[in-house]
Amino acid sequence: MKPSLRAVLAVVVLAAPLALTAPAQAANTLTMRGADVSSLQRSLDLGARYYNASGAQADPYDILAAKGVNYLRLRIWNNPISGYNNKAKVLQQARTIKAKGFKLLIDFHYSDTWADPGKQYPPAAWAHHSLSQLQNDVYTYTHDVCTALKAQGTTPDAVQIGNEINVGMLWPAGQVVNNNFAPLASLLKQGYRATKACNSGTQVWIHTANADSNANARWFYDGIRAQGVTWDVTALSYYCMWHGSLANLYNVIADVKSRYGKPVVLAETAYQFTTANADHQGNAIPGTVLCDNIPATWAGQAQQFSWVQNTVRNAGGVGVFYWEPTWYAIRGNGWDPADINGTGNGWDNMAIFNWTGHVNPHVVWTP
Which is the catalytic residue, given 157, 164, 255, 348?
164
Residue 21, pLDDT > 60, answer: no
- Confidence band of 7 (pLDDT split at 50, 70, 90): very low
CA distance 24 to 104: 27
- Residue 14 CB: number of other CB atoms within 10 A? 8
**Sign for the pseudo-dihedral over CA of 216, 220, 221, 225:** positive
- pLDDT higher for 191 or 9? 191
Percent with pLDDT over 70 in the chain? 93
Q: What is the pLDDT of residues 102-113, one digit of tens each?
A: 999 999 999 999
Q: What is the pLDDT of residue 27?
A: 60
Which is the catalytic residue, given 36, 268, 324, 348?
268
Compute the average pLDDT of residues 245-256: 98
Q: pTM for this one?
A: 0.93
CA distance 54 to 47: 21
Residue 200, pLDDT > 60, answer: yes
Compute the average pLDDT of residues 197-206: 98
- 164 assigned to active site: yes
Judge contact between 37 and 85, C-beta under 8 A.
Answer: no
Q: What is the pLDDT of residues 140-174, one digit of tens each?
A: 999 999 999 999 999 999 999 999 999 999 999 99
Q: What is the pLDDT of residues 292-320, one digit of tens each?
A: 999 999 999 999 999 999 999 999 999 99
